[in-house]
Amino acid sequence: MTRGPLNRALEGFTSTIFAEMSALAVRTASVNLGQGFPDFGGPDSMLERARQAIADGVNQYPPGPGDPTLRSAIAAHQQRFYDIELDPDSQVLVTAGATEGIAAAMLGLLEPGDEVVLLEPYYDSYAATIALAGGVRRPIRLEPPDFALPRETFAAAINPRTRLLLINSPHNPTGAVLSADDLAFIAELAVRHDVLVVTDEVYEHLTYDGVAHLPLSALPGMAERTVTLSSAGKTFSATGWKIGWATGPDELVAAVRAAKQFLTYVNGAPFQPAIAEALQLPHSYFDGFRTAMQDKRDRLIDGLTKAGIATFRPRGTYFVVADARSLGYADGYELCRALPELCGVVAVPMQVFYDNPDGARHLVRFAYCKRDEVLDEAVRRLGALRRD
């Protein structure tokens, strides 16, 4: 055997930080503010609809593109919230969460050597799936404290080898939300250079302080070149169901579907009608959920601040970025490995979300999608480490 068994494109991607830190949380009985999953349930009507679907025998393969009822509900959601018109039969594809949507989009749209301009830090599956497709990453770093888009740097990264722009807003892991002007700037570049765009909008209903989510595909010239990815997991607190979707023009959705059908093919049959029902919940649900999550953000930030930990206030998602140096650590990875033993709390080091983490090694991420009493207990434990 002239080389090892692992596909060399996956070197460096054999484990995720989320698996590592969640296992550490279990082993040490720590409060897990690392991985972004809620510890509370979704809307009762959605849960009951899933139970009913199972009882009714909706347990076999759904149609390849997804349950027609769910695809219609996704199209109706885009119309209702953003005035975007979609054909549910040809412009909506149900995926195994947005993570599969990302993989299918990269595999379906990229060829070896194609370049992808993306925002850094980035969700870890971006790097892995671009590598699997043979693509080349061109990360554009968002810098604290506001993690604003560096427009000149972003524009300079686009060249004749650029195939697509991979945009995530609201942005994981920083919590930044691109402004309308930033999105217009990106749209103008995409049109001028005639490149494709893939947008990850899984936190679309989690923007705070009056900030509104604006889909990039709604801007002039973008509908025909944009694949929009989203998911039910974050909006309806059902991350384990893995129900996501890709929407866009027929040709691009067909390309994503061509790759997707050889990944999971289909998934989550009884959950699909339940998500269809959830997407039709009144605005009061979405507004109430956003308000509740904003309150949790403020609760955690206030607690961390009182514990002497410097933070950067996010405008979206359910993550807070903090400065490990507040606790005497220059390296966030070192802090995150030590925290479970020091005080029984798990966080995630930000450096794993960078190609080159120099200058960002001190950043860590806390998730606040937890019950208030869990957040309070985590803050109490962290407060014991305060350096006065």
Same domain, 20 and 124: no
Same domain, 175 and 302: no
Q: Is residue 1 part of a domain?
A: no
DSSP 351: G
Q: Is residue 388 part of a domain?
A: no
Same domain, 231 and 168: yes
Split at pLDDT 50, 70, 90, the class of 385 is confident
Q: Which residue type sits at 319?
A: F
pLDDT tens per residue, range 312-369: 999 999 999 999 999 999 999 999 999 999 999 999 999 999 999 999 999 999 999 9
Strands 226-231 and 196-200: parallel
Q: Encoding tokens for residue 374? A: 């869990």
Same domain, 119 and 252: yes
Q: Which residues make Cβ contacts (< 8 Å) with residue 36, sequence separation at least 6?
A: 172, 234, 239, 317, 318, 319, 367, 369
Q: How far apart are CA 283 and CA 276, in angstroms?
A: 15
Q: Which residues make Cβ contacts (< 8 Å) with residue 345, sequence separation at least 6?
A: 30, 31, 33, 339, 378, 381, 382
Same domain, 259 and 288: no
Task: Give me the pLDDT at residue 248, please.
Answer: 98
The length of the chain, given as a count of residues: 388
pLDDT tens per residue, range 106-117: 999 999 999 999
Q: How far apart are CA 263 and CA 102, in angstroms?
A: 12
Residue found by looking up tokens 């990944």 in the block:
263
pLDDT tens per residue, range 224-248: 999 999 999 999 999 999 999 999 9
Same domain, 38 and 58: no
pLDDT tens per residue, range 131-163: 999 999 999 999 999 999 999 999 999 999 999
Q: Mean pLDDT in the chain?
A: 95
Cβ burial 307-323 (10 Å sphere, 16+ → b, else e): bebbbbebbbbbbbbbb
Domain end marker among 248, 282, 316: 282
Q: How far apart are CA 345 and CA 341, in angstroms?
A: 8
Q: Which residue type sits at 187?
A: A
Q: Domain range spanning residue 242?
A: 44-282
Q: Encoding tokens for residue 324? A: 């490990």
DSSP 194: T
Q: Is residue 308 part of a domain?
A: yes
The pTM of this model reads 0.95
Nearest-Å Rg of the Cα atoms of the chain is 20
Same domain, 275 and 322: no
CB 363 within 8 A of CB 324: yes
CATH number at residue 183: 3.40.640.10
Q: Which residue type sits at 364?
A: V
Q: How far apart are CA 122 and CA 351, in angstroms?
A: 10
Q: How far apart are CA 306 and CA 315, in angstroms?
A: 21
Q: How far apart are CA 25 and CA 20, in angstroms?
A: 9
pLDDT tens per residue, range 10-65: 888 877 777 887 888 788 889 999 888 899 999 999 999 999 999 999 999 999 99
Same domain, 146 and 260: yes
Domain count, the chain: 2
Domain end marker among 222, 247, 282: 282
Taking 80 as the threshold, does the pLDDT of residue 289 lie above it?
yes
Say what percent of the chain tops pLDDT 90. 90
Q: How far apart are CA 124 and CA 77, in angstroms?
A: 28
Same domain, 334 and 207: no
Same domain, 70 and 27: no
